[in-house]
Amino acid sequence: MTWTDRAPRSDLDPARAETPILRVRDLQVAYGDARALFGVSFDVPAGSVTTVLGANGAGKSSLAAAIGGVVPPSAGTVEFDGHDVTGVPSHQMSRMGVSFVPESRNIFPHLTVRDNLRAQIRFTVPRSDRGAALERAMDLFPVLRERSRQNAGTLSGGEQQMLSLARVLAAPPKLLIADEMSLGLAPKMVDLVFESLQRIRDEGVTVLLIEQFVERALGFADEAVILRHGLVGWQGHAREAGTELLAEYLGGESASTL
Chain segment 74-129, per-residue pLDDT in tens: 999 999 999 999 999 998 998 899 998 887 667 899 999 999 999 888 877 888 99
Considering only CA atoms, which of 196, 193, 201 is closest in space to residue 175? Answer: 201
Q: In whole angstroms, what separates CA 184 from the centre of its chain?
A: 16
Would you kindly state where each structural domain of the chain is located, as residue ranges? 15-97+175-258, 106-172
Superfamily (CATH H level) for 15-97+175-258: P-loop containing nucleotide triphosphate hydrolases (3.40.50.300)
- pLDDT (tens digit per residue) in 184-231: 788 888 888 888 889 889 989 999 999 888 889 999 999 999 999 999
The percentage of the chain sitting over the pLDDT mark of 70, rounded to a whole number, equals 89
d(CA 139, CA 145): 8
**What confidence category does residue 242 fall into, taking pLDDT thresholds of 50, 70 and 90?**
confident
Q: CA gyration radius for the chain?
A: 18
d(CA 80, CA 91): 15
Could you please report the per-residue DSSP string of 94-150? HHHTEEEE-TT----TTSBHHHHHHHHHHHHS-GGGHHHHHHHHHHH-HHHHHTTTS
Asked whether residue 252 carries a pLDDT value surpassing 70, the answer given is no
SS3 66: helix
